[in-house]
Amino acid sequence: MRLEKCWFCSSTVYPGHGIQFVRNDAKIFRFCRSKCHKNFKMKRNPRKVKWTKAYRRLHGKDMTQDSTFEFERKRNRPERYDRNIAENTLKAIKKIAKIRSDRSSDHIKNRLKTGKIQRQKEARKQLEQDIHLVKAPLALAQDSSLRLPKIKVNVSQTQTEENQQMEE
Amino acid sequence: MGGKCPSRKVKKRRYSHKTARRNKFLVKGDDAVYEELQKGDSENKPLPRDEDLPGMGQYYCLHCDRYFANVTVRDEHYKTKRHKKRLKQMSGPAPHTQLDAELAAGMGMPDNGPTLMSM
């Protein structure tokens, strides 16, 4: 039993599921469900459709380089059956699947980290720029408690006071 | 096909005719055209004469997979937006294939065994 992959979304097509299209040049296209088949008929490019694996790979959403990807392959040569090897393979499948899912979740976690840093940076910038919307600039200048702690630490007290006087 | 479509109703009417629908299946797929372009650049052999095709099958656009009646029509076609769009698409990355789909699904390269004959 060979489990094929869907041409459009790269999900596994189990026996009895999906549909197959054979073009007049004998090229076979397999689809896991009517959704993928319809998208193919509309001539959509899977690389540009966000929910497909091809898109996710291309845009760094999913893990691309990993040693666990070497196990599942399309083997175009007959393998002699060996009971021991089959047993060991069945045991290993579970372990490999676990390793792979852990690594892919790690990948997503790492990917989200950069977004968090970016958001914090933007928030800080907005606070600096738009503080006048919350408090009038004059009042802000008089009340030192409303100023950002960053300024307090970096710049000496005398210098900031001089600047305020200049502005006033 | 054609220029800008005035309305959905018109589009439906235009594609309701059998010939228009048949055309959809006769046109080569993107990947087939791409393959043809990749290998066919070096050889410039004359096109085979075919009475059934427009212009005896002598005026052919490889990118769009279309036959034209004469040279002027073909050259006119080369100037169209549709052809230029196609040209750009074909000069870009290779179209999606089953192998791409399998690699994206987390499979390795296919294992074909050792090569029996050394070339």
Question: Which pLDDT belongs to residue B44?
Answer: 65
Tell me if A10 sits within 8 A of B104, measured CB to CB.
yes
Predicted pLDDT at A168: 47
- Kindly state whether residue A28 falls inside one of the protein's structural domains: yes
Most confident region among A136-145, B14-23, B74-83 by mean pLDDT: B74-83
Q: What is the pLDDT of residues A89-144, one digit of tens each?
A: 999 999 999 999 999 999 999 999 999 999 999 999 998 888 888 878 777 777 76
Give the whole-angstrom CA distance, residue A42 versus residue A99.
Answer: 37
CB atoms within 10 A of CB A53: 23
Q: Which residue has the higher pLDDT, B83 or B26?
A: B83
Confidence of residue A159 (pLDDT cuts 50, 70, 90): low
Query: Looking at the domain assignment, is residue A120 inside a domain?
Result: yes
Could you tell me the residue ranges of all domains in chain B?
A: 30-94
Indicate if A120 and A156 belong to the same structural domain. Answer: no
Q: Considering its fold, how many domains does chain A have in total?
A: 3
* Interface contact B106-A68, CB threshold 8 A: yes
Chain B residue numbers with beta carbons less than 8 Å from the beta carbon of A71 are 108
Which residues on adjacent β-strands are paired with residue B25? none
Chain A CB contacts of B101 below 8 Å:
5-10, 46, 53-54
Domain interval for residue A2:
1-64
The size of chain A, in residues, is 168
Q: Using alpha carbons, list the distances in angstroms from residue A86 to A44, A80, A97, A141.
A: 40, 10, 17, 76
CA A133 – CA B55 distance, rounded (Å)? 73
Query: What pLDDT score was predicted for residue A5?
Result: 94
Residues of B in contact with A30 (CB under 8 A): 98
Among 3.20.20.140, 3.30.160.60, 3.40.50.1950, 3.20.20.60, name the CATH number for the domain at B30-94: 3.30.160.60
Q: Do residues A38 and B72 touch, judged by C-beta distance below 8 A?
A: no
Distance CA A114, CA B92 (A): 31
In this structure, the answer to whether residues A9 and A59 fall within a common structural domain is yes
Q: What is the pLDDT of residue A144?
A: 67
Residue with the bigger pLDDT between A32 and B10: it is A32
* Residue A7 shares a structural domain with residue A31: yes
Minimum distance, in Å, between the CA of residue B65 and any CA atom of chain A: 15
Last residue in a domain, options A12, A31, A64: A64
Whether A151 shows a pLDDT value over 70: the answer reads no
Q: What is the ipTM of this complex?
A: 0.73
Instruction: Say if residues B41 and B91 touch (Cβ distance below 8 Å).
Output: no
Confirm whether A75 is domain-assigned.
Answer: no
Structure tokens at A103: 């690594």
Burial letters A83-99, b for 16+ CB under 10 A, else e: eeeeeeeeeeeeebeee
B104 contacts in chain A (CB < 8 Å): 10, 52-54, 56-57
The DSSP 8-state label assigned to residue A131 in this structure reads G
Q: Is A48 exposed, middle or buried (0-12, 13-18, 19+ CB in 10 A)?
A: exposed
User: CA-to-CA distance for B22 and A157, rounded, in angstroms?
Assistant: 81
Residue A15 pLDDT > 90: yes
Tell me the average pLDDT of chain B.
82
Residue A110, pLDDT score: 92
User: What value does the mean pLDDT take over residues A50-73?
Assistant: 89
- pLDDT value at residue A163: 53
Residues A13 and A40 placed together within one structural domain of the fold: yes
Residue A167 included in any domain:
no
The Cα–Cα gap between B94 and B86 comes to 13
Q: What is the mean pLDDT of chain A?
A: 85
At A46, which CATH number? 2.30.170.20
Cβ contact B108–A54 (<8 Å): no
Instruction: Inspect the interface and report whether the beta carbons of B101 and A57 lie closer than 8 Å.
Output: no
**pLDDT (0 to 100) of residue A37:** 95
Question: Is residue B118 within a helix (H) or strand (E), and if so which, with residue range?
Answer: none
Residue A113: inside a domain, yes or no? yes
Helices (H), B42-111: 71-79, 81-91, 98-104
A144 with A122, same domain: the answer is no
The SS3 of residue A71 is coil
